[in-house]
Amino acid sequence: MKKEFLKGMSHGIPIMLGYLSVSFSFGIMAVGKGISPLWTSLISLTNLTSAGQAAGVDIIVAAGSLIEMILVQITINMRYSLMALSLSQKLDKRFTTPHRLAASYGITDEIFAVCAAQETPLTPAYMYGMILIATIGWVMGTVMGAVAGQLLPASVTSVMGLMLYGMFIAIVVPPCKKERGVLAVSLGAIAMSLLFKYVIKGIPSGFVIMICAVAASAVGAVLFPVQDEGGAS
């Protein structure tokens, strides 16, 4: 139990470092738009998501309606439902309902990606360790960005936005070398994403990600079915 928790914490360290920089820029952005540092930090603690928080801040600043807030959050964050569904397939028997209710809080892109790459069933302790470390990074980064962000030169803060994407690339590329299906699905998703960016414009970004991911994965599942349980990974 304790060993699993520590393992989760150590697997969470790269996520924490990535989150520090990304949430740092969120902190700068939200305070720059007029949200107080305290509320900015509370948004990070209660939401634990990047794109959804950025969109939420825009709605708060524009004094938008709650309906708009709900619809935007659903659209941007719906991908977490797919991730939750995917993770639900590899949970250890120890994952009882209270543990599921608690660990749901921490299903983010990065935590999902690291958990999905595990070969053994996921235990609650493992996920808690990872979520704890990642959340500390996310909230600490936000607090620092909100309080001290203006002190850093723009040349440094602007490139920090690349760290999260760099981490995504590091997750996707290695399996692309080993599995033709992953390579094809990733390239398909990128092609569609470019299409929505430059040709079919005007669809909210969260929605675009959903469409690209579902379509590319569905085609991939037909053309490159995974051989055995747990995938070819």
The CB-of-49 to another protein minimum distance in angstroms stands at 6
**One of 54, 58, 100, 121 touching another protein (CB under 8 A):** 100
Nearest Cα to 215, choosing from 183, 184, 192? Answer: 192
**Any contact of residue 43 with another protein (CB under 8 A)?**
yes
d(CA 49, CA 81): 13
Question: Which residues from 140-159 bind another protein, rule CB under 8 A?
Answer: 155-156, 158-159
Query: DSSP 3-state assignment of 122?
Result: strand
C-alpha 57/C-alpha 54 separation (Å) is 5
DSSP code at position 123: P
Token output for 154: 């723009």
Exactly one of 1, 6, 74, 200 binds another protein (CB under 8 A); that residue is 74
Q: Is 34 left (phi over 0), alpha (psi -120 to 50) or beta?
A: left
- Applying CB under 8 A, which of residues 54, 82, 136, 152 lies at the interface with another protein? 82
Position among 54, 59, 132, 147 found at the interface with another protein (CB under 8 A): 59
User: What is the nearest approach in angstroms of another protein to the Cβ of residue 7?
Assistant: 16
The pattern of x and - marking residues 167 through 196 that bind another protein according to CB under 8 A reads xxxxxxxxxxx---xx--xxxxxx-xxx--
Shortest CB 190 distance to another protein, Å: 5
d(C-alpha 27, C-alpha 43), whole Å: 10
**CB of 70 or CB of 148, closer to another protein:** 70
CB of 206 to another protein, least distance (A): 10
* CB-count exposure of residue 156 (10 Å: 0-12, 13-18, 19+): exposed
The correct pick among 1, 10, 46, 120 for binding another protein (CB under 8 A) is: 46
